[in-house]
Structure 1
Amino acid sequence: MIDVLIVDDDKLVRKGLMSVMPWEAFGMRVVGEAANGEKALEFLKENRVELMMTDLAMPVMSGIELIRIVRKRYPEVAIAVLTLHQDFEYIQEALRLGAIDYIAKVQLEKEQFEEVLGRIHARMLNEQRNQMDEPQSMGNGISLADEVYVLLEVGDKPVVPSQKQDILSLDWRMESDGQIQIWSPNYIQEHLPGAGASEGLLPPLPSETYGSNWRLVQLRDANGMLWTDLYQLLRNYKQKNFFYECDDYEPHPIKKSVYELQEEMEKIGESEDELAKEMLHAFTWVYDDQSFYAMQGRLRELMLPIPKLMQLLYGFTLDWNRLFRAVTLNSMSLPDTLASWKDVIKWMEAFRKLALALTGNLQLSREVSGSIMSAVKIVHEELAFPLFAIDVAKRVNLSRSYFNQCFKEVVGHSFNEYLRKVRIDKAREYLAQTAKPIVWIAEHTGYADEKYFSRTFRDQTGMLPSEYRQQHKIR
């Protein structure tokens, strides 16, 4: 069984996770809970834990500090993060520190719990595979020929035993998780004299690789390298550049050199992805072709590691749903896995098509739909400031009368009604999830006068802010 520790300062969250998650279905059991980081460390001293689920925003010790300490003292413990959607920057930091996954608390009631645990369980298994011994001893010390061939799995699905046996029978050497195979002429000739591919011809490919998600790489300048060193080089390539370079239906090999792979490995580090993030979250690319191709080119140019790219896209999807779910009445989603850059482009194109259909279902032009989407984004991002329809209409390049007409048709409320709704919804969130004074909440939701805020809040909810907090505050 996988022993689990849950760390969260909210007792209801801890008890809820312990009772509703299908732990046993994934060979897990909750062996402990802690209300803060210090208590979690005390528990870890005395108990065996293989998976820790921790909140990020906690008193006494933050989740980030807890993750740092646990990764140092207990590197074998896998960590998943529990968080609110607005903690995205902290999520990125947690992932950089070694967390394997994160769960948005606001989605826990709606997500399939099996999917959450299934994803975490799969990633734990993947981590274990990566820590397994290097390829079996057969030939580990033998250097490679100048030119070798490599089969790489597109995506992260391990090879089943029958496939592994077939590949080995054709003298392909396989990594432990079955996602990388190497074929070297000098190894084959040493063990099977007279065997091997003739010059200019491809080596014998296993039948399972035809028409499947395998890509062949022709690798030069491998002479003198050890198998183990090349496997490590290929792992790094597969986790980054291969994702962007592979084309899962291309019949010809990808041609690379060992020197190229080494240079790519040296470049792996913190990428300047803020501009790409900015372009994604501007949403302009959804309705504007030029912005779409510019953003797509920027992301491709960065060649972010796959986990970082997925987190960037997932953060964008959460942001979109936060802003537009009430308008479209639909949630957009990101697939659990994207096998290649081509899959990313397909997802983006499908996202654009669906988003435009949902926001432009009244036969509005793409430009007008985009203007209304921009106005909705302005409301959410600037709700603490004075906002007037005439000013927002000017900012999105529409006349005031046409803006008011289109906004109500698309959103279902007039601009002022929608602004008030968003402000009151944000005030509800502050009242339930924070201890901020009501005057502070009023100011941060666009109400300069606390009394006017209280009257408006009561008109919308049927109770005063203090009464709402009393009934709904998360303890």
Structure 2
Amino acid sequence: MIDVLIVDDDKLVRKGLMSAMPWDSFGMRVIGEAANGEKALEFLKENHVDLLMTDVAMPVMSGIELIRIVRKRYPDMAIAVLTLHQDFEYIQEALRLGAVDYIAKVQLEKERFEEVLGRIHGLILNQRRKPPNEPASVDQDVYPLDTAYAVLGLGDHPLVNGPRQHSQGWRVEADGHILLWTPDLREELWTEVNSDREWLPPLPDQALDADWRLVRLRHIAGLTQFDLLQMVRNYRQRDFFYDCNGYETNPIEKSVQELQADQPEPSEREIEAVKEILHAFRWVHDSQSFEELCSQLRKLRLPASKLMQLLYGFIVDWSRLFKALAKTGITLPDTFLCWSEVVAWMGGFREVAATLSGHLQLSREVTVSIMSAVKIAHDELEFPLFAVDVAKRVNLSRSYFNQCFKAIVGYSFNEYLRRVRIDKAREYLAQTAKPIVWIAEHTGYADEKYFSRIFREQTGLLPSEYRNRHRQR
């Protein structure tokens, strides 16, 4: 069992880590918490700890000072650094003092908890396996020349399973998603590597059946292998997904300067702006809007899991608005390995929609107009809406608007609007305690009695009966 102490001046962070992390899955247990370095040292005097997880910036005693003291007093204790800062230069001192890993708090998402703990667990086990008199780790060897290579796995499946050191000079990170080519630094081969830009190392046999890409790392002279591994790990977690198109025949070229460059997290405003373009649906039939969406989405550099959530939200919205179109079987894959697969999926989505328009012999401009009308019905259902007014807003005559709307959606505009309003009323009745008169007004019905009559026609129940039946469940 690995006993853990969590040190952070934010109580919510400590409690969140203690309750949310899958400690049991990795033979770990949290035996204590502390709000600063001094409290942590007091705890360590009375308790045995295998893993210290500490924030860097804390009052009373900083995490850096705590690490210095712990390294002297408890040299066998593993240390992982918690930080709000993702600037590699800021946390490099902690790593050089002996921290086995660092964790950016902004990257701590539920779907990545197992990855984080698995990585730390592997590093601790590897430390324990070393003989007592083993010389200093090769991690501290400094690269004398300019170039190194890394094989990075795509997706969640590890490249290899097994020991950290493999044949042909490839060294495996604990979680198996990264292989660094680190042969003996004294080999004459390094001269060949540095002199020939096109030279490639022998590829690892263990990874040939996996999804991976080769990255050539430039300007690394003077870095330790451990420092470089941290940089490569950060790169794989964010930018690698967007740099890799899935079909490279040549290595991806990255310099240390690029790996160290500050990568600010996208703001909520930036994310909402892209969501607005995504859910406006114009990109489905307009090539310029599609190119703009792809460009803006790629600039966000969202983690693959968050990108999937964004696209899933779009699919749900599309299916809700365009039930007739949803019958074409548009689905989201379980995962994307790289950005090019995202673009390909979005392109396929557009082709399905275009096929439908072609089958109905409607122009893309008309299809976009009808899609805009559908969105108006959902966004403005609480206001008076009339087909003649909506037709003008989407630049179609009333008669042609009604004809095209029914051809695409399967209902006339008025029929569809009534279904949208009743569906929203069902949601209010089932999920809120709002009065029926309030629900009627917020679904476009000024008269409560008229609303009740329409609701019963559509559902077979009065609003009050529907609510009671839902509560009985």
SS of residue matched to 1:219? strand
SS of residue matched to 1:131? helix
With over 3 angstroms needed to count, the CA separation of the structure-2 counterparts of 1:455 and 1:359, relative to structure 1, is farther
Residue identity in the other structure for 2:184: I
TM-score by length of 1: 0.70
Q: Shift of the alpha carbon at 1:270? A: 4.0
Which structure 1 segments of 5+ residues have no match?
1-65, 79-94, 102-122
Matched with 2:153 is 153
Deviations 1:262-290 (A, max 9, x none): 114x4346462222111101111001111
Residue identity in the other structure for 1:155: G
Counterparts of 2:304 and 2:191, CA distance in 1: 34
Q: Among 4, 17, 21, which residue is 1:76 paired with?
A: 21
Deviations 1:287-340 (A, max 9, x none): 111110111111122222323222222221221122122554355322221111
Mapping of residues 259-338 of structure 1, within 5 Å: 259-264=257-262, 266-268=263-265, 270=267, 272-330=270-328, 332-338=330-336
TM-score by length of 2: 0.71
Q: Shift of the alpha carbon at 1:67? A: 8.9
The answer to whether 1:141 aligns with 2:140 is yes
Q: Among 398, 401, 410, which residue is 1:400 paired with?
A: 398
After superposition, the CA RMSD in angstroms is: 2.8
With over 3 angstroms needed to count, the CA separation of the structure-2 counterparts of 1:230 and 1:166, relative to structure 1, is closer
Q: Which moved more, 1:148-157 or 1:209-218?
A: 209-218
With over 3 angstroms needed to count, the CA separation of the structure-2 counterparts of 1:252 and 1:211, relative to structure 1, is farther
With over 3 angstroms needed to count, the CA separation of the structure-2 counterparts of 1:319 and 1:96, relative to structure 1, is farther
Deviations 1:244-269 (A, max 9, x none): 111322222221111211114x4346
SS of residue matched to 2:121? coil
Q: Among 71, 77, 100, which residue is 2:110 paired with?
A: 100
With over 3 angstroms needed to count, the CA separation of the structure-2 counterparts of 1:308 and 1:446, relative to structure 1, is same
The answer to whether 1:188 aligns with 2:184 is yes
Query: Are 2:164 and 2:172, in contact at CA under 8 Å, matched by a contact in 1?
Result: no
Query: Are 1:433 and 1:474, in contact at CA under 8 Å, matched by a contact in 2?
Result: no
Counterparts of 2:216 and 2:453, CA distance in 1: 71
Query: Are 2:21 and 2:114, in contact at CA under 8 Å, matched by a contact in 1?
Result: no
With over 3 angstroms needed to count, the CA separation of the structure-2 counterparts of 1:216 and 1:205, relative to structure 1, is same
Q: Shift of the alpha carbon at 1:155? A: 2.3
Counterparts of 2:266 and 2:362, CA distance in 1: 44
Q: Shift of the alpha carbon at 1:360? A: 5.3
Deviations 1:223-264 (A, max 9, x none): 222222222211111121111111322222221111211114
Counterparts of 1:148 and 1:453, CA distance in 2: 70
Counterparts of 2:13 and 2:261, CA distance in 1: 30
Matched with 2:117 is 128
The answer to whether 1:357 aligns with 2:359 is no
Report the count of equivalent residues. Answer: 366
Q: Which moved more, 1:304-313 or 1:443-452?
A: 304-313
Matched with 1:444 is 442
Q: Among 464, 469, 472, which residue is 1:471 paired with?
A: 469
Matched with 1:243 is 241
Larger Rg over CA atoms: 2
Counterparts of 1:382 and 1:67, CA distance in 2: 40
Query: Are 1:134 and 1:228, in contact at CA under 8 Å, matched by a contact in 2?
Result: no
With over 3 angstroms needed to count, the CA separation of the structure-2 counterparts of 1:319 and 1:425, relative to structure 1, is same
SS of residue matched to 1:74? helix
Deviations 1:11-45 (A, max 9, x none): xxxxxxxxxxxxxxxxxxxxxxxxxxxxxxxxxxx
Counterparts of 2:404 and 2:437, CA distance in 1: 34
Runs of 4 or more, structure 1, over 6 Å off, are: 66-69
Counterparts of 1:160 and 1:217, CA distance in 2: 17
Which structure 2 segments of 5+ residues have no match?
1-10, 24-104, 128-136
Counterparts of 2:455 and 2:12, CA distance in 1: 39
Query: Are 1:404 and 1:415, in contact at CA under 8 Å, matched by a contact in 2?
Result: yes
With over 3 angstroms needed to count, the CA separation of the structure-2 counterparts of 1:131 and 1:165, relative to structure 1, is closer
Q: Which moved more, 1:209-218 or 1:362-371?
A: 209-218
Query: Are 1:173 and 1:182, in contact at CA under 8 Å, matched by a contact in 2?
Result: yes
Give the share of equivalent positions with the same residue, in percent. 53
Deviations 1:149-192 (A, max 9, x none): 1111122221243xx679811111111122111124xx5244xx
Counterparts of 1:263 and 1:416, CA distance in 2: 54
Matched with 2:67 is none
Residue identity in the other structure for 2:344: K
